[in-house]
Structure 1
Amino acid sequence: MLKTIKPRALVMVILGSTILSFGLFNIHSFSGVTEGGGLGLTLLLDHWFHLSPAITGFIFNMLCYAAGWKILGREFIFYSIVASVGFSASYSLFEAIGPFWPHIGDTPLLAAVVGAIFVGVGCGLCVRAGGAPGGDDAMAMSIAKVFKMKIQWAYLASDLVVLVLSLSYIPLSRIGFSLLTVILSGQLIGIVQEFHLPAWMHQEKPAKVE
Structure 2
Amino acid sequence: MVVKIYPLLKKRGGVKMLNSLLNFFNLSKKGFVRIIIGSCIMAFTLVNIHMQSNITEGGVLGLTMLLYKLLDFDPAIISPLLDFACFSLGVSLFGKKFLKRTAIACFSFAIFYKIFLITGAVVPSLYDFPILSAIIGGIGIGVGCGLVVSQACAAGGDDALALVLSKKLNLNISKVYFLTDAIVLTMSLMYIPMGRIIFSLLTTIVSSLIIGQFEMPVTIHTKSGVRV
TM-score by length of 1: 0.88
The superposition leaves residues 127-157 of structure 1 with CA deviations (integer Å, 9 ceiling, x where unpaired) of 0011100000000000000011100011111
Unaligned runs of 5+ in 1: 197-210
Check the 8 A contact 1:125/1:193 in 2, yes or no. Answer: no
Alignment counterpart, residue 189 of structure 2, candidates 149, 167, 178: 167
3-state DSSP of counterpart to 1:129? coil
Check the 8 A contact 2:162/2:177 in 1, yes or no. Answer: yes
Shift of 1:73: 1.8
2:194 and 2:174 map into 1 onto residues whose CA distance is 23
Matched, 1:27 2:49: yes
1:52 and 1:80 map into 2 onto residues whose CA distance is 25
Matched, 1:156 2:156: no
Matched, 1:75 2:97: yes
Matched, 1:56 2:81: no
Which has the greater radius of gyration?
2
1:165 and 1:89 map into 2 onto residues whose CA distance is 31
3-state DSSP of counterpart to 2:150? helix
TM-score by length of 2: 0.81
Check the 8 A contact 1:34/1:175 in 2, yes or no. Answer: yes
Matched, 1:184 2:221: no
The superposition leaves residues 69-114 of structure 1 with CA deviations (integer Å, 9 ceiling, x where unpaired) of 0112211111111001111111122223221224221211111111
1:98 and 1:179 map into 2 onto residues whose CA distance is 26
Check the 8 A contact 1:2/1:74 in 2, yes or no. Answer: no
1:157 and 1:5 map into 2 onto residues whose CA distance is 30
* 1:1-210 paired onto structure 2 within 5 Å: 2=24, 4-193=26-215
The superposition leaves residues 145-184 of structure 1 with CA deviations (integer Å, 9 ceiling, x where unpaired) of 0011100011111111111111111111111001101111
2:34 and 2:118 map into 1 onto residues whose CA distance is 24
What's the Cα RMSD here? Answer: 1.6
Q: Give aligned pairs, total.
A: 195
3-state DSSP of counterpart to 1:35? coil
Check the 8 A contact 2:25/2:97 in 1, yes or no. Answer: no
| The 10-residue stretch of structure 1 (185-194 or 145-154) with the greater mean CA deviation from structure 2 | 185-194
Shift of 1:3: 7.5
2:25 and 2:131 map into 1 onto residues whose CA distance is 46
Identity of aligned residues (%): 39
